[in-house]
Amino acid sequence: MHILTACFAIVLSLSSTVAAGSKGGQETAWIDPIIEITIDTTATKEALFEKSSHDKPLALHSAQEAGEYFSADDLAKLDMDVDFSQQCLLVFAWRGSGQDKLDYSVAESFPEQVAFAYQPGRTRDLRPHVKVFAVRANVNWSVRGGAASDDETRLAHYLNADGELRFPVTLRDSQSGFAGETGFLWTIDCDGAWQRQSFINETVRDADQEGQLTKEQLQTLGEALAKADMVGLTPSTGQTGVNPHIVTVTYGKKQATVILHPGQPLPESDETKLRDPVQRISYLTKVMQTLMQPE
């Protein structure tokens, strides 16, 4: 089994040579809670107006889902503007007065709270309206007098309608020393196939363990990612020193790293302390390693 697959995967890694908060050596910026995206409303498909309204947005969690409603040009724009591993699309589509408005406000909390408010226009002309927002997946949102985010919408960011993972998570565990960096890399593919590999510096060996998660286990993993608020994790915790022990968890382009002292283990997982980013990584590590048991 190869790490790179045609589908998205979760890779769980307990250490990394790449700096925390980076992807392929490049820093990943913290994502704003909400961004409005301008699209060509004349090219949107009729199904969009059937599935959403001014008070009940359609939530889209992948480019594949977006492809059912948007033109090729708009999909290309979304591909550049949206990271579906950290964001979801909220799409409001309705027909009404040309003066109709849909505004939002952001409450300063964490995660942030986004409140949408619809204001009907006074003119009698009937015009199509499409509002598209990229919302960070851990943000709580609501529409005045309408729909609101809940546990189900947050879980949908990690599991698709078939109960499979949407993106990779990496758990990579390494310890630096006189021989360089050594450790283990766990990978869980979107369909639940998993493997463990050891590595020395840049050399990654063939898998020494592998298996297959059941649909029930994938559900458990998706719930753990949502509970630990993977998207909201701090990019880096701890300070780099000599021969650090580094634990990195990656979901799609989202990466979170804990830097520990040489030989220092992660603290014992305590679900009552999940406001602490180190505890959240410890919790995810425990869940994933518990699920990945050789047959």
**pLDDT tens-digit profile of 177-222?**
998 999 999 999 999 999 999 999 999 999 999 999 999 999 999 9
Which of 43, 63, 40, 44 shows the shortest CA–CA distance to 52? 44
| Separation of alpha carbons 271 and 276, rounded Å | 10
**DSSP class of 278:** H
Residue 130 sits in the same domain as residue 174: no
Tens-place pLDDT, residues 50-60: 999 999 999 99
Which of 117, 125, 126, 139 shows the shortest CA–CA distance to 59? 139
Residue 133 sits in the same domain as residue 38: yes
Residue 50 sits in the same domain as residue 123: yes
Q: Report residue 24's pLDDT band, with 50, 70 and 90 as the boundaries.
A: very low
Residue 168: per-residue pLDDT = 82
- The percent of residues in the chain predicted with pLDDT above 70, rounded, is 90
Specify the pairing of strand 236-237 against strand 254-260.
parallel
Residue 28 has pLDDT above 70, yes or no: no
Residue 137 · residue 148 · CB < 8 Å: no
Residue 41: per-residue pLDDT = 76
Among residues 104, 138, 172, the one where a domain terminates is: 138
Lowest mean pLDDT among 15-19, 61-65, 146-150, 269-273: 15-19
> Two tokens at 243?
């021969």
| Separation of alpha carbons 10 and 187, rounded Å | 6
Which of 169, 183, 171, 170 shows the shortest CA–CA distance to 243? 183
Share the mean pLDDT of the chain.
Answer: 88
Kindly state whether residue 188 falls inside one of the protein's structural domains.
yes
Q: Which domain holds residue 103?
A: 34-138
Number of domains in the chain: 2
Residue 102 sits in the same domain as residue 124: yes
Please list the residues that pair with 113 across neighbouring strands.
107, 140
Tens-place pLDDT, residues 87-146: 999 999 999 999 999 999 999 887 899 999 999 999 989 999 999 999 999 999 999 989
Cα-Cα-Cα-Cα torsion 176, 181, 186, 189, nearest 10 degrees, comes to: 130
Kindly state whether residue 4 falls inside one of the protein's structural domains.
no
Residue 22: per-residue pLDDT = 36
| Separation of alpha carbons 292 and 295, rounded Å | 9
pLDDT greater at residue 224 or residue 7: 224
Residue 238: per-residue pLDDT = 87
Q: Which residues contact 280 (CB under 8 A, 6 or more apart)?
A: 228, 229, 230, 233, 256, 274
Three-state secondary-structure class, residue 120: coil
Residue 170 has pLDDT above 90, yes or no: no
pTM of the predicted model as reported, rounded to 2 decimal places: 0.84
Residue 196 sits in the same domain as residue 245: yes
Residue 5: per-residue pLDDT = 37
Kindly state whether residue 253 falls inside one of the protein's structural domains.
yes
* CA-based torsion, 59, 63, 66, 68: positive or negative: negative
Residue 121 sits in the same domain as residue 195: no
Kindly state whether residue 145 falls inside one of the protein's structural domains.
no
